[in-house]
Amino acid sequence: MASLVIAEHNHAFILGATLHTVTAAAQCAGDVHILVAGHNAGPAAAAASHIAGVIKVIHADGESLAHGLAENVAQQVLALAGNYSHILFAATPSGKNIAPRVAASLDVAQCSDITKVVSADTFERPIYAGSAIATVQSSDATRVLTVRTTAFGAAASLGGAAAVETVAAVAESGLCSWVTSEIAKSTRPDLTAAKTIVSGGRALGSAEHFDAVLTPLADKLGAAIGASRAAVDAGYAANDLQVGQTGKIVAPELYVACGISGAIQHLAGMKDAKVIVAINKDAEAPIFSVADYGLVEDLFVAVPLWVQTA
């Protein structure tokens, strides 16, 4: 039994998500191999060979693999799939894009976003946006998995000494071609996908204040801006910024609630944030009952001070 990890890389480096996926792979099956499928990706393959716990790197190199197109990468994986009991991808946009193609082609089920490996055929995963955790058992001979990287530690990136085996890159599928990429967006991240959200409530007092006070903090943190229902109703923020039961459900790494009281309907929209910060001058505000860090202070003082602090 061996696990194959499909590396997340940019041809020059191995990306961090891969290290967490390796940890999960080691828990699935003793021998961990990594596939680096890229173009001029020698450096990435070499880096992969140093990851602790990896005993073999398979390096497929060709133009067809230059842009990570799902149609081509999936074919590359399928060429090797017969040797493995477990095939793992990081649950990143790329991993989620490719993994199901592999699973369907092998006529096996996929287990998405696993948070724990219970045994070789049994995994835990979140459902209903994390409101429940399911333990599922696979009856297929090959298990295709995507791994929630925050649920597993990172394998050490140095210490390993795996052999690197070169294989032929698959031919271009001809189904799809890459046109262009626009990375490092200058616009604000989408509210539902943002890693950080700065959110404002009725206490901001006006649309002008809402923008003037929150925008600098959002800029500083690279954050999306959200609003409570009360702020939207009062006209301080547009409808599509509303976080909450009748707005958007978000689960960022960091949620900063400024002048938000914490009505049930709002909490329903952000309770799954990893870290919640509340800034409110009312010590009784319900938001403090869910906040990891609560600052009882006037937001008109605290937020600008935060922005100014290096």
Partner 1 sequence: MQSYDAIVIGAGVIGSSVAYHLARFGAKNVLVLDRSQIGSGTSTQSSGILRTHYSVIENVELARQSWSVFTDFAAYLGDEEASAGLVKCGYLICAPEGAKLDPLRQALEGQRAKGIRVDFLDRGAARELLPIAHFDDAALIGYEPEAGFADAYLVATGFARAARRNGVKIMEGVNVEKLLTDKGRVVGVQTTQGTFHSDTVISTQNIWAGDIERWTGIPTPVKAERHTVLALEGPEAYTFKMPVFKDLGSPGMLYCRSYGGKQMLVSEGTVGETLAVPDNEQGDIPMDYVAEIGEQVAERFASFGEAGLASSWTGVYDVTPDWNPVLGSVNGMQGLVVGYGFSGHGFKLSPGVGRVLAQEALGMATDVSLAPYALERFSTGQLLTGKYGLGAVS
Partner 2 sequence: MKILVPVKRVVDYNVKVRVLADASGVDTKNVKMSMNPFDEIAIEEAVRLKEQGLATEVIAVSCGTSQCQETLRTALALGADRAILVETPADADFELQPLAVAKLLNALVAREKPALVILGKQAIDDDANQTGQMLAALANMPQATCASKVELADGQARVTREVDGGQEVLSMRLPAVLTADLRLNEPRYVTLPNIMKAKKKPLETIKPEDLGVDVMPRLKTLKVVEPAGRKAGVKVADVAALLDKLKNEAKVI
Q: Binder to partner 2 among 55, 156, 254, 263 (CB under 8 A)?
A: 254
Q: Considering the rule CB under 8 A, would residue 128 count as an interface residue with partner 2?
A: yes
DSSP 152: S
Q: Considering the rule CB under 8 A, would residue 168 count as an interface residue with partner 1?
A: no
Per CB under 8 A, contacts with partner 1 among 223-282 are 230, 233, 239, 246, 261, 263-265, 282
The binder of 158, among partner 2, partner 1, none, by C-beta within 5 to 8 A per type, is: none
CB neighbours of residue 85 within 10 Å: 18
Sign of CA dihedral 235, 241, 247, 250: negative
**Closer Cβ to partner 1, 75 or 261, answer by number:** 261
Q: Considering the rule CB under 8 A, would residue 16 count as an interface residue with partner 2?
A: no
Tokens of residue 285, six digits = 């505000």
DSSP 109: -
Q: Binder to partner 2 among 219, 233, 297, 298 (CB under 8 A)?
A: 297
Q: Considering the rule CB under 8 A, would residue 286 count as an interface residue with partner 1?
A: yes
CA–CA distance from 259 to each of 280, 289, 303 (Å)?
5, 14, 10
For residues 9 and 44, is the Cβ–Cβ distance under 8 A? yes
Rounded-to-integer distance, Cα 66 and Cα 39, Å: 5
Q: Binder to partner 2 among 44, 45, 70, 155 (CB under 8 A)?
A: 70
Amino acid found at 153? G
User: To the nearest whole angstrom, how small is the minimum distance from the Cβ of residue 104 to partner 2?
Assistant: 4
Rounded-to-integer distance, Cα 152 and Cα 149, Å: 6
The binder of 208, among partner 1, partner 2, none, by C-beta within 5 to 8 A per type, is: none
Q: Binder to partner 2 among 208, 240, 282, 298 (CB under 8 A)?
A: 240
Q: Binder to partner 2 among 1, 63, 233, 293 (CB under 8 A)?
A: 293
For residues 281 and 205, is the Cβ–Cβ distance under 8 A? no
**Closer Cβ to partner 2, 158 or 182, answer by number:** 182
Tokens of residue 123, six digits = 């995994």
**Closer Cβ to partner 1, 166 or 206, answer by number:** 206
Q: Considering the rule CB under 8 A, would residue 141 count as an interface residue with partner 2?
A: no
Tokens of residue 163, six digits = 């052999």
Cα dihedral value 133, 138, 142, 145, nearest 10: -10
User: Among the candidate windows 44-52, 63-71, 162-170, 198-206, which touches partner 2 by CB under 8 A?
Assistant: 63-71
Binding site for partner 1 (CB under 8 A): 202, 230, 233, 239, 246, 261, 263-265, 282, 284, 286, 289
